[in-house]
Each structure stands twice: as structure tokens, then as C-alpha cells.
Chains A and B, each alone.
Chain A
Amino acid sequence: MPDDYQHDPHDIVSSHNRHRRMFLKTSALAGALALNNGLAASPEASERSGNSKLRIGALCVGDFSFWSYSWGDILSPRGVAVNREALGTGLLDMEITHVWDVDKAKAREFADKVGAEPVDRYDGMVGKVDGVAFGGFYEVPWQHILARPYIEAGIPTYLSRPFAYSLRDIEDILDCAAKHGTPIMATDIYEHLYGVTTLKKRIRTIGEIQCVHSTCLTHEYAALFHTPYMLQAIFGHDVGKVAVVTDDPNSSTYLMGTYLFNGDPEQKPFLCTSTMTPDGDLYSMDVTGSEGIESSRLPQFAEWRDDLLVHHTPMLVAMQKTFEGTMYEPLDNIRKKNEIFLTGFYSAVERSGAPVDVGTVPPDWRAVPARPDWIDPALLKRQ
């Protein structure tokens, strides 16, 4: 079972170092990591005024972004709808002050709605914000580059799922966070659903787990196949094998993932399956134990307001705590989640859906981006 979340930020470096030895054998960054493991805030991190909300930089706000889909509606300070309908009240202690997107027009459009200032460059908010959040999906293959200036500056950073498209990239991010002592958060929205904690409590009464079946409302593996993250939030990250069966991870007509959890002395290894059901519930999950079954499901919402409050807001609450300086979870959890995602991708495209041992995907192997030309490399040059 997973540890409880909300860790002491001072644990992140030691935990990170402890669990990444295998990777470091092949990592060129091993030496660099040893240089500075301090967690002191970078001088470039700005001081927060006691009378204002946290100043948040919104990165990647255009197509396929949580910013333009839901976060904008939740954080919109003046009740102006970004997508469908704003909550109309200041729910959290965060204010969007700066915006960047690969598409400047979309950045401007979003900024106008939330009363923020667009910046020209992806690193143009350093020194101006208390935290940054990457909301997009198409930018994730470049996220390790886009996030680096902020992590180096000690600015708490939220990373969009699936966090990175290679183990090398995620290690790059984690190394940088560890070196600069920057709180980072990398979660999937389903990790924050109340069904996670509810199931974690209820499955204590069903004996030894026999099997788990889950479904997810999605058409593809990389962005919206949320249940594998939810499974890890419930059962931990000790996954031995992953198999993903699909015709195309980025545009699936069928999709099924299998995750072998290793268990422990009191729990035999057990399999969790996740099946895509594009028109069904947001998720469903059935945990069969030796002495009973526990189930959970989240039907699609009838009202957008409920969707925002129940589905999307819990993650923003955790994000705010990260921006306040509290690590959501150890860095190694992030590495593990990304590794499990990449192992599934590797199973699908390199092994025809065969189970792949977690820990065997080559560090430089890259998953296939949904939009490989989404970002012009020229935009990534740092000033």
C-alpha cells in the first residue's frame, strides 16, 4: 500500500537518490546531482506579498489544456467563463498573473479572460510568479525543457501528465528539482478523486486482493487513460509488469492495460486491468478480495459546476499546497509513475502488447508524441 501523501519536502532528495540508483548507472547526470542537494529557495524565486494571492504562471493554455478546459473556470477571478461557466467566486488562494502558450493568440485570449499578462517566451515568468503550472498535453514531450528555467529558479512547478516521454527526460526534471530544492508536483487528476481514499479504506475489509478491473472514459493511452494513475494511488507504485494492448496509443479503437502489482508478504501478486470505455463512466473500479468485493465509479456529470468542484478542484487544492512549498509526494513516486506509463507505451508499440518488466525500458527510448511537431525547437532556445 502506498505511503500517505504530503511529505516533508526535506525528504525529497534522499528519497530520490535512494530509488534511482539503477537509472543512474546509465545517466550522464549522476555527477551533477551530487553538487547541490539543498532545498533552500532560489534567490530567483520571488517573495510573496502577504496581502495577495499566490501569483501563478499558466503555461500551455491552448489546445488540449486543463487551463482552457477547467482550471480557468475555477480560478477565473471575475466570473468570466474561460470554457463553459466560471464558478464565479474566488475559490482558492491562487491568481493567474502570467500566461504563455506556443500559440500567442491563444495565450492572449486566455490572458484576457482571466485578467493576466501574456509573456512572449516560455521562460518569461521567472522572477514574476510564485508557482507555474503546465496545463497542456501536447507540450509534454518538451516539458523537461520548458520547466527547467522555473525549477532552476526554485519556483514550485506542476507538471502535466504523463510528465515525460522518456526516462531520460523525467530524470532530467527530477535531477533539476533535487538539485535546486524546488517543490514539483506531477499528478494525474484521478489521483485526487475521493474514490481513491474511499477505496483505500474500504478494501481493508475484503481480505486478500484477488483481482481488480477498472474502466476509463478515453480514446487513447497517453493523456486520458487516467485509471492506471488511480490504481497506483490506491495500491502503490510497486508494479512489476505492464502490458498495454491497443491498435494505436494516441488514437485507439481498443485499449486495455494490465498491471501486475507485486504484493507483499501478506498479499500475493495481483493483476489490475484497465479497459477503455469511451462512452461510459469517467471510471469504474471493482476490487475483488477473498472475502468480498468493493466497487467505485464516477458517472459523467450532469452539471459543469459539479464537474469543476468534484472532478477538477481537488487537484488544484493539492497544487496550491505545492506552490506554498509542500511537496505532494516524493520525487521517486513521480519517476515511478512516469516509468510505468512509459513501460505501457513500450509494451504497446515495441512488444505487441506483451507484458514488459518495469525497469527494463531503455532510458533513451521515447514514446510517440501525439503531435510531434507541436513545438518549434527554435522556441526552446533560452535567453
Chain B
Amino acid sequence: MKGFRALALIILWDVRKLGRYKFFLAMRFTWFLLQVLVFGLIVAHMVSIRGPYGLLDYYKFYVVGAYMAVLFSISIMRGHEIVEELEDGLIDYQLSLPIERRVLAIGRTLGGGISSFTYSMPMLAVIIMVLGVSSLTSILLLALVSFVFSSGLVGIAMSVALWLRSGDKLDILMGISDSLLVRLSTIFYPIVVLTPITIYYYLATINPVSHATDLLRIVSIPEYALGVTVSDSTIMASYILGFTITSILAAITLLERRIEGGYGR
């Protein structure tokens, strides 16, 4: 019971910081709107993709990808926050609290996931409107998948930040991983399109971003997603769940072991 209360407090601490980033949110929202209302509309006119059930509506396909790209970048940003907290001594303070390390790691991951998902909600509302998703079950499923995947990403960002413990190194790693993970996934193109470039195809197949994006597509636009997703929906859901659990475990391990004994540079 005590553990749950501590977990709730840690999550609440992360969620309470939401109001600080209104300008950051405004920028992300503008970026997203331009992607959806300008880039997506124009490129959809230029693209022609034939799936197993006929021509693909690329615009609808792309809109889901644009949302995932924003969710990805918002969640990964948490890594920078963790490094700043390390530098400011805030992590020291949190470690000194009468809270178990694993509870702290789980709380920070879930709190970060809730915050990141909350930031992405205006964008999620836009894609729900654009795609005309009217079923409550589908909307709740979209939210659930986004939250679970966002928590996994926050866990990874937190683990990398705790492992590197340097803002500079984190900058380069996050910059490169952002470039590669987003482009080598099914965010912008269906997996069938990647088959001519074998290495890209295999990398996109194992990339969790592909699984999360395609699962969102299965839920929101099943008529266009069938036959062009990276895998079966049950496998994709299990993959994302596995990814999130692994990333939380990694964050727990790093917080319990690597952070002990000081981390000053």
C-alpha cells in the first residue's frame, strides 16, 4: 500500500510539471499541423502505393505516422530532462527520499509517459477528427496504445540518460536515434515499400516504432492498414508491451546500480 502511494506521488510529481511547457507544446502543435495540413496533403497527391487490397489512401496513412513522430519526439525529450535533473542534483534528492528505487524508476517512467501522452492529446484529437474515428472503443484503444508506447520510450530515454549522464553525448545519441528510428520505421511508408532495400526492411521490421504506428493504424483505419502492417495486431500489441516492460526494467536496473556511488563528471 505504501509502495502504491509512493508510486502515485512520483507520477503526480512528473505530471504536475505539465504547465511549464506550454510554449514547447505550441511549437510541437504547429509542427504537427503543418505536417498534416501542408506536407501530408501535398505528398499524398504525389504518392501512389498499391497494397494487397488496392490503392492506399496515403493521406490517412500518413496522418497516423505524423502523430507517432510527434509522440516519439515528445517522449524522447524526457531524457534531456533527466540529464538536467542529474546536473541540478534533483535525482540525488529523489534518491534520498524514503522510496524504493524500483518504485522511483517505475513512477518516473509512468509519470513521463502520462505527461508525454497528455502533451500529444491535441494532436491525437486532430487525427481522430481527420480520420473520422467515431467508435469510443477505438478512441480508447488509440489512447491506450499511445500511452503504453510513450511510457516505453520514456523508459528508454531515461535509461540512456542515466547511462550516459552527459547532455552532450545524449544530444548526439538522441539526434541520431531520432533520425534513424523515425525514418527506418513505417511512420512515413508502409513496410511493403521497404522490401527493395533489404537492410531498411529488416531494420523497420524490428523497430518498435513500426509496431506502435501500425497498431494505431489497425485501430483507426483498418480498411487501409490491412495487409500493409509490419505484423499481425496481436503480435504488434505484444511487441509494444514487451518493449515497454523491458525499458522500465532497464530504467530500474540503471537507477539501482549505475547511479549508486556518485555520478559526477
Pairing of A with B = no
Chain A residues in the interface with B (C-beta under 8 A): none
Chain B residues in the interface with A (C-beta under 8 A): none
